[in-house]
Amino acid sequence: MVKIGVLALQGAIREHIHSIEACEAKAITVKSVEDLALVEGLILPGGESTAMRKLIDRFEMLEPLRQFALDGKPMFGTCAGLILLAKELVGYDYSHVGKLDAIVERNSYGRQVDSFEIDLNIEGVATDFPAVFIRAPQIVSVEENVEILATHGDRIVMVKQGHLLGCSFHPELTDDHRIMTYFIEMVKESLANEVHVK
């Protein structure tokens, strides 16, 4: 059973835990560097990216999170988690984990009142995934090594870069676990490659 962590400092933690367990993987809440060492894949959940960064700094987790990505371990950022993963943020001169080769704009879809749900065609996942957008960021552009998995109109809303996965919306707020299944398969592939290399 693969061990999937959820960064549990702030945000939609419980919903991700539920989705992981629905996919019959082991869910681990990650609140420290020691917890991070226990997991084989990590989800950076939706929430408030500024608050998350303050807590990441307080618990001295920024460099360990960056190293987790550098070590090739799968990471999945949803909404605020996508902002944490992105290499560049519109209007800011700094990034957070910064390992996803994409430019992301915060709150691109407006305020809470502008929230909506649509069916998305996601490459390799589903043609009808119920995507929930809440104060969602937009992926403005990506580098050549980043695969675009889904768009909404002319906006990029889900991407994959090797072992990194990011989306603008909240898959954990639905009972559809196909994206979580996709991420768990990424983790299993990563583990299989690790064994092969050894």
pLDDT tens digits for the chain (198 residues)? Answer: 899 999 999 888 999 999 999 999 999 999 999 999 999 999 999 888 888 999 999 999 999 999 999 999 999 999 999 999 999 999 888 889 999 999 999 865 655 546 789 999 999 999 999 999 988 888 999 999 999 999 998 899 999 999 999 999 999 999 999 999 999 999 999 999 876 554
Q: What is the pLDDT of residue 94?
A: 87
Candidate list 16, 152, 170, 177, residue with the active-site label: 170
Total structural domains in the chain? 1
Q: What is the pTM of this model?
A: 0.93
CB burial class (10 A; 0-12, 13-18, 19+) of residue 89? buried
Range of the domain at 65: 3-197
- Determine whether 144 is an active site residue: no
Beta bridge partners of 148: 159
Candidate list 16, 23, 40, 79, residue with the active-site label: 79
- Determine whether 170 is an active site residue: yes
Q: Which pair of structure tokens corresponds to residue 51?
A: 């608050």
Candidate list 23, 40, 172, 177, residue with the active-site label: 172
Query: Beta 26-30 vs 75-78: how paired, if at all?
Result: unpaired
Q: What is the pLDDT of residue 195?
A: 62
Query: Which CA distances in Å does 52 have to 1, 55, 72, 161, 185?
Result: 28, 5, 22, 23, 27
Q: What is the pLDDT of residue 109?
A: 60
- Determine whether 172 is an active site residue: yes
CATH number for 112:
3.40.50.880
First to last CA, the chain: 20
Query: Which CA distances in Å does 112 have to 87, 116, 158, 195?
Result: 25, 9, 20, 44
